[in-house]
């Protein structure tokens, strides 16, 4: 999703793998690894920057697994790159990766803050938009005065930064936020479901000129204003930012960390687990707390830091538990465009991320036998989502996301569906076609096994739910857990048939990343 947002804004970027980061690709060193018999491509070296990335964008996922995927060499490489002036932008798990941890190998330690636990596990299951209070006057403060205006742009970079590349990393290219995590999460642009070191984005040149008309950023002289000590409400309308099952900062007094935005109040589409809070009267929350001792209001969020910034060496970081790359989220997208401009020196061609219509995906693969297995897998995955909706296990949440009942593998299903949609939306490169010819028989077999197994699993979950009031032990819970493990892996560490399908699908995305997704054309 983050990769798509950067591409939609017309900025040069590429996916780079975690192994490449460990080998120094952020500092401009060519990778030594091989992928599927093909040399991994890297961003072209820039005559001014020596090919160094200006920005590493790390999306959501399990921060601990991302750190493990980087390894000691990768974590050191990121810190060395930042000390030399590289900039870091992390969303959700990418923010958590940058924090300090009791076990140093579990994060980068570029921010002195750590991650805090929620008072109740259920409080982690928040999603939707929230109104925020903003810090004004900081270098990275959100400037709502800047509005996207339609104009023809040449996408030229700033005069002093033509060489600045924009970096991100791979599995996030296709995944929804809050996805299942896996054993060796890729360090950079990779969602939580990563299991092998995946790619990060890096690019060294400005977009080609002559692109079609698109909304452009217009600077406002009124922003930034004098810096404040604390975030404040921005009257008359506080910005609305999206969160998708976020982590939480352990705030402490430290002048090195600046809070750019803090939670204020839930917006209209805010959910806690599978409960839309706007549909529940406030007095009901009070009754629930009095009768059952459960606090399901969002009061615990008010004033909590949501977006922070600071410096590490000569580099700068912005860490956000809000997914600013969320499609069709105007305030979030505008702030993302501003941050990308500030952190890379490149001018986005637009300040919004268009709708991601995963309910009606396009595909760019050529018709015929070569694409049959991939498109069949996509259709089967959509069929599973429809089945889960029909049996009230899942529900439509947004144009790109299905919601799910607590305890079901909804994040994993969203991740695989989004990955398949993304792979199918990219015209395959020769390297991707060669790789596909090699793995297609195995992929087809895995996809058939997964589709049949997942269908049985969802129907068994529905049966267990139906029988539970009268026959609570009719469906063996241990059997269901075993089936889920085989299909979807562990909720926090991944695995199962789904992980194997994701590995292949994301390699296709990596090998075809130079193509423009057909939904952005």
DSSP characters over 306-368: EEEEEEETTEEEEEESS-TT-TT-HHHHHHHHHHHHHHH----S-S------TTS----SPSS
- pLDDT of 212: 32
Select from 416, 402, 411, 408 the least CA-distant residue to 481: 408
- The rounded distance, in Å, linking the Cα atoms of 467 and 126 is 29
Assess whether 398 and 487 both reside in one domain.
Answer: yes
Assess whether 193 and 76 both reside in one domain.
Answer: yes
What mean pLDDT, rounded, does the chain reach?
A: 81
**Rounded to a whole number, what is the largest CA-CA distance in the chain?**
72
**Phi and psi, residue 447, nearest 5°:** -65, -40
Mean pLDDT to the nearest integer, 239-262: 94
Confidence of residue 228 (pLDDT cuts 50, 70, 90): low
The 8-class DSSP code of residue 119 comes to S
Q: Is residue 132 part of a domain?
A: no
- pLDDT of 223: 59
Assess whether 394 and 474 both reside in one domain.
Answer: yes
Q: Is residue 227 part of a domain?
A: no
- pLDDT of 293: 84
Q: Is residue 80 part of a domain?
A: yes
- pLDDT of 50: 54
What 3 state SS string does 205-270 have? CCCCCCCCCEEECCCCCCCCCCCCCCCECCCCCCCEEEEECCCCEECCCCCCCEEEEEEEEECCCC
Decide if 259 contacts 307 (C-beta within 8 A).
Answer: yes
Of 296, 327, 344, which one is at a domain's C-terminal end?
Answer: 344
Assess whether 169 and 252 both reside in one domain.
Answer: yes
Assess whether 386 and 513 both reside in one domain.
Answer: yes
Q: Is the pLDDT assigned to residue 66 strictly greater than 60?
A: yes
Q: Is residue 129 part of a domain?
A: no
Confidence of residue 350 (pLDDT cuts 50, 70, 90): very high
Assess whether 255 and 400 both reside in one domain.
Answer: no
Q: Is residue 269 part of a domain?
A: no
Assess whether 325 and 445 both reside in one domain.
Answer: no
Burial of 413 (0-12, 13-18, 19+ CB in 10 A): buried
Q: Is the pLDDT assigned to residue 54 strictly greater than 50?
A: yes
Higher local confidence (pLDDT), 179 or 328: 328
Number of domains in the chain: 2
Assess whether 486 and 436 both reside in one domain.
Answer: yes
Measured at the alpha carbon of residue 199, what is the angle toward residues 196 and 204, in degrees to the nearest 5? 165
- pLDDT of 187: 26
Mean pLDDT to the nearest integer, 286-306: 87
Mean pLDDT to the nearest integer, 134-138: 91
Assess whether 420 and 502 both reside in one domain.
Answer: yes
- The rounded distance, in Å, linking the Cα atoms of 106 and 332 is 28
pLDDT in tens, 363-375: 999 888 788 999 9
Question: pTM for this one?
Answer: 0.83
Q: Is residue 376 part of a domain?
A: yes
- The rounded distance, in Å, linking the Cα atoms of 199 and 188 is 7
Give the CATH number of the domain where residue 201 resides. 3.40.50
Assess whether 335 and 430 both reside in one domain.
Answer: no
**Phi and psi, residue 119, nearest 5°:** -55, -35
- pLDDT of 518: 95
- The rounded distance, in Å, linking the Cα atoms of 142 and 222 is 12
Mean pLDDT to the nearest integer, 56-70: 89
Q: Is residue 397 part of a domain?
A: yes
- The rounded distance, in Å, linking the Cα atoms of 329 and 77 is 33
Measured at the alpha carbon of residue 320, what is the angle toward residues 314 and 326, in degrees to the nearest 5? 125
Burial 368-399 (b: 16+ CB within 10 A, else e): eeebebbeebbebbbebbebbeeeebbeebbe
pLDDT in tens, 384-428: 999 999 999 999 999 999 999 989 999 999 999 999 999 999 999
- pLDDT of 494: 82
Mean pLDDT to the nearest integer, 356-367: 92
- The rounded distance, in Å, linking the Cα atoms of 141 and 134 is 7
Q: Is the pLDDT assigned to residue 64 strictly greater than 90?
A: no
- The rounded distance, in Å, linking the Cα atoms of 205 and 164 is 7
Confidence of residue 198 (pLDDT cuts 50, 70, 90): very low
Mean pLDDT lowest among 43-47, 239-243, 338-342, 423-427: 43-47
Q: Is the pLDDT assigned to residue 239 strictly greater than 90?
A: yes
Assess whether 487 and 425 both reside in one domain.
Answer: yes
Assess whether 373 and 328 both reside in one domain.
Answer: no
Q: Is residue 238 part of a domain?
A: no
Token pair 């939306």 in the structure block, residue: 425
**Phi and psi, residue 57, nearest 5°:** -105, 115
Residues spanned by the domain of 471: 369-520
Higher local confidence (pLDDT), 519 or 226: 519
| Residue 373: HSE in the Cβ half-sphere, 13 Å Cα cutoff | 19
- pLDDT of 159: 31
């Amino acid at each position: 999703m983050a990769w798509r947002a950067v591409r939609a804004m017309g900025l040069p970027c590429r996916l780079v793998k975690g192994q490449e980061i460990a080998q120094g690709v952020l500092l401009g060193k060519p990778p030594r690894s091989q992928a599927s018999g093909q040399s991994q491509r890297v961003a072209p070296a820039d005559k001014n920057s020596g090919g160094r990335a200006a920005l590493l964008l790390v999306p959501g996922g399990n921060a601990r697994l991302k750190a493990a995927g980087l390894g000691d060499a990768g974590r050191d490489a990121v810190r060395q790159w930042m000390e030399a002036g590289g900039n870091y932008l992390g969303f959700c798990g990418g923010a958590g990766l940058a924090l300090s941890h009791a076990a140093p190998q579990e994060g980068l330690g570029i921010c002195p803050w750590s991650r805090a636990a929620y008072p109740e596990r259920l409080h982690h299951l928040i999603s939707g938009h929230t109104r925020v209070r903003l810090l004004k006057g900081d270098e990275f403060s959100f400037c709502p005065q800047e509005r996207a205006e339609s104009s023809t742009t040449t996408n030229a970079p700033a005069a002093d930064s033509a060489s600045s590349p924009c970096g991100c990393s791979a599995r996030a290219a296709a995944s929804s936020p809050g996805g299942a995590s896996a054993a060796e999460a890729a360090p950079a642009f990779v969602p939580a479901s990563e299991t092998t070191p995946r790619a990060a984005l890096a690019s060294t040149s400005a977009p080609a000129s002559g692109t079609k008309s698109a909304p452009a950023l217009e600077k406002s002289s009124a922003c930034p204003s004098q810096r404040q000590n604390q975030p404040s409400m921005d009257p008359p309308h506080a910005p609305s930012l999206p969160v998708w099952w976020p982590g939480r900062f352990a705030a402490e007094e430290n002048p090195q960390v600046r809070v750019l935005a803090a939670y204020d109040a839930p917006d209209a589409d805010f959910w806690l687990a599978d409960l839309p809070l706007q549909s529940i009267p406030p007095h009901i929350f009070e009754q629930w707390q009095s009768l059952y001792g459960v606090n399901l209001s969002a009061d615990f969020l008010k004033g909590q830091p949501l977006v922070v910034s600071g410096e590490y060496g000569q580099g700068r970081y912005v860490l956000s538990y809000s997914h600013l790359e969320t499609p069709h989220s105007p305030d979030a997208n505008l702030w993302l465009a501003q941050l990308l401009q500030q952190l890379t020196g490149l001018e986005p061609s637009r300040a919004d991320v268009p709708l991601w219509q995963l309910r009606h995906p396009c595909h760019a693969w050529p018709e015929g036998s070569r694409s049959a297995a991939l498109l069949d897998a996509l259709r089967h995955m959509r069929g599973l989502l429809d089945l889960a909706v029909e049996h009230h296990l899942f529900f439509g949440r947004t144009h790109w996301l299905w919601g799910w009942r607590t305890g079901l593998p909804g994040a994993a299903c969203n991740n695989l569906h989004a990955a398949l949609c993304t792979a199918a939306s990219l015209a395959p490169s020769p390297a991707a076609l060669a790789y596909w010819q090699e793995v297609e028989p195995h992929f087809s077999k895995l996809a058939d096994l997964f589709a049949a197994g997942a269908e049985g699993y969802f129907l068994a979950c529905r049966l267990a739910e139906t029988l539970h009031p009268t026959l609570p032990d009719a469906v063996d819970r241990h059997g269901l857990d075993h089936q889920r493990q085989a299909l979807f892996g562990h909720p926090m560490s991944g695995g199962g048939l789904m992980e194997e399908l994701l590995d292949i699908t994301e390699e296709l995305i990596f090998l075809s990343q130079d193509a423009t997704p057909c939904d952005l054309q």
